[in-house]
Amino acid sequence: MTTKTRSRTRTLVECALMIAVGTVLAQIKIFEMPNGGSVTLVSMLPFILVSFRHGAKWGLATGFVNSLLQMLLGFYAPPAKTVWAFFGMILLDYVLAFTLLGLAGLIAKPFKNRTLGVAAGTAAVCVIRFFCSYLSTVFVWFSTAPEGMPVWLFGITYNGAYMLPELILTTAAAVLLYKAAPKFFSPEP
């Protein structure tokens, strides 16, 4: 077995382990919203770690596999009236929302201060996930908005109610983990 094959196998196993850890953490819900979405025990952090350790390609691939697993384990059917709305929900609430977590390391690269980079990369992908959920609310879940409330405001308040605490917890955990064990955020040797 060549060194390159061994390294690739090791990375693949590590990504599979991070998917398993992220799946378990996603089941530990601190708070759950009525129409989907929850504050979890930093369930996005394993995918963010993959992005820092192995780059955007592995981070995006791991996030994509996670998105499919999240759909299998916790799919919440929307009030979609059309097939396009249904696929829009799958794309925005699952595929893009979880796949794009793999960009954290890429977003953090320009920062000279590594702690700031970890915080910025982590927070940025949480904001991207919020934006995906917001768009899904505006285009798919709009019928769940309370009567008289603009759908754009409902999208911000509903998704912000669980994504803001998730962003704070995940970013704080990433920074604390980086301070305690910076090697977890370094590329594999």
Instruction: List residues bridging with 97 in a β-sheet.
Output: none
For 48, the token pair is 């963010």
pLDDT in tens, 57-116: 999 999 999 999 998 887 766 566 788 888 888 999 999 999 999 999 999 999 999 999
Q: What pLDDT does residue 78 have?
A: 59
Do the bridges between strand 29-32 and strand 38-40 make them parallel or antiparallel, or are there none, so unpaired? antiparallel
Measured CA angle at 188 (ends 187, 189), to 5 deg: 110
Distance of CA 82 to CAs 72, 86, 87, 138, Å?
21, 6, 9, 15
pLDDT tens for each residue of 37-74: 899 999 999 999 999 999 999 999 999 999 999 988 87
CB 63 within 8 A of CB 101: yes
Share of the chain above pLDDT 70, in %: 96
Domains and CATH numbers, the chain: 3-185 (1.10.1760.20)
